[in-house]
Amino acid sequence: MSRKPTKSDAAKSKPASKPVEVVGQTLERAFDPLTSAIKRAALKRADKLAHAFDREPQPAGSAAPAKVDKSAMPVSPLAVPFPEMKPIAGVQLAVGRAGFYKHERDDLMVMSFPDGASAAGVFTRHGVGSAPVDWCKRHLEATKGEGARALVVNAGCANSFTGKPGADAVRRVAAGVAKRFDCRQRDVMVASTGVIGVLLDDAKITHRLPDLEQKLSADNWAAAARAIMTTDTFPKGSYAEATIDGTTVRIGGICKGSGMIAPDMATMLAFVVTDAAISPGALQNLCNLYTRNTFNAVTVDGDRSTNDTLLLFATGQSGAPRISRAGDRRLADFRDKLEGVLMDLAHQLVRDGEGATKFIKITVTGAETAASARKIAKSIADSPLVKTAFAGEDANWGRIVMAVGKADEPVDRDSISVRFGDLWAAQDGLIAPSYNEAKMSAYMKKPELEVTVDVGVGRASSTVWTCDLTKRYVEINGDYRS
């Protein structure tokens, strides 16, 4: 994809033939009646479908459907306050209302970055990835992460399972942003979240770009976090400061996600920015390294999203020396703080699990390998029977043992032990001699719980975080398109 021409380019000799883009535009105009009709019909269907999702069932005798303000859902009892986030040199943010929701709320967010910024990303492994995911993966590979200039994110429409029309919509969004920010289309990252199967009406975004460009501010993190929410009940952010070779650098990030959370890189989107100067290769290595035990170690319902995206940007505006290797000793403090920010954001996804009332840490020890321990831990964390037992505040260790066995990993049945906090439920394959129902019941009433399972065949371990499964989860997802 060609870059936007500059004044100096205009002064050069004229090319012998028209650029590919001009030829393409000429052909598009030639077929304009047909393509326009197809686009209008597709957008009309998409708009009708999207609006249908905002309606409640009508009470008997009512004259008109009532609007549903999903932003008014009760805040999760496990919510944490949005942190104080200082401006990060080189990044500016703006939010606005594109109109993907009928009720009044911001649903569009833009970030801008300076020349020379680096970018890295980790994306869903879902077999039906979205058009925005395809765009980001393709252009990060093409640019090797060099020169990221902008990010645009919309809520209310996932633009997934929308075929070529969806891909074309993403391209038009990127083209519009590139024009406003005087950069190449491939330097624009795009992300979407919302209902799957609805075509993105890109005009709703591009028409808002002039206004958003005027509203860009370095101190807009909380508004940005709110703008990308869907069924989230609270905005999610994290901030830290680190030292690189004596210079203080800042790391800040926001994310969204509440249901369809089981990343394997939920609808999960996360965007993290630092003012450190880190090469794209090193940034990508850090992104890969710390995703495994943060975003890939949480689950709400075991369902992966088509749109899962983590993008990490480095503006290089802190004044710290440029680092080209992820293992550079000068990055030691930065690595720790970056992992902390990613972990904090990942935990907030679980805390906002749809209908969640319990935040649960599950650790498996004594496994043959770390991969085996991880598989067993996720089997426990994703089990509906285990999760509903937590919702009922029932220390049903039999269900946990069931989930251990169905993972089909090596275990020693006669050595399995299960502990809730400091209380033993089972030891050496039997109910623990010290088991006390009253103490266990009292422990299960806590909002934050820990379960440790030793499977008795090795020395490897793994930890996964999850939440309970309540009636509210069924209500939220049963009404999602109603």
The two tokens of residue 429 are 């394959």
Dihedral (Cα; 370, 371, 374, 380), 10-degree rounding: -120
How many C-beta neighbours within 10 Å does residue 74 have? Answer: 9
For 433, counting Cβ atoms within 10 Å of its Cβ (0-12 exposed, 13-18 middle, 19+ buried), the class is exposed
Q: Strand pairing partners for 120?
A: 312
Q: Which residues contact 66 (CB under 8 A, 6 or more apart)?
A: 55, 56, 58
Report the candidate in 193, 104, 209, 185 with the shortest Cα–Cα distance to residue 154: 193
The two tokens of residue 200 are 């993105």
C-alpha to C-alpha distance for 376 and 385, rounded to whole angstroms: 15
Over its C-alpha atoms, the chain yields an Rg (Å, rounded) of: 24
1-32 core/surface letters (b: 16 or more CB in 10 A; e: else): beeeeeeeeeeeeeeeeeeeeeeeeeeeeeee
Dihedral (Cα; 290, 108, 218, 255), 10-degree rounding: -20
Long-range CB pairs of 174-181 (<8 Å, 24+ gap) are: 174/135, 176/202, 176/205, 176/206, 176/209, 177/110, 177/150, 177/152, 177/209, 178/4, 178/149, 178/150, 179/4, 180/209, 180/210, 180/213, 181/112, 181/149, 181/150, 181/213
Q: Which of 206, 230, 267, 309 is catalytic?
A: 267
How many C-beta neighbours within 10 Å does residue 425 have? Answer: 22
C-alpha to C-alpha distance for 467 and 354, rounded to whole angstroms: 9
How many C-beta neighbours within 10 Å does residue 36 have? Answer: 11
Q: Is 363 a catalytic residue?
A: no
Decide if 352 contacts 256 (C-beta within 8 A). no
- Phi, psi of 461, rounded to the nearest 5 degrees: -145, 165
Residues that are catalytic? 267
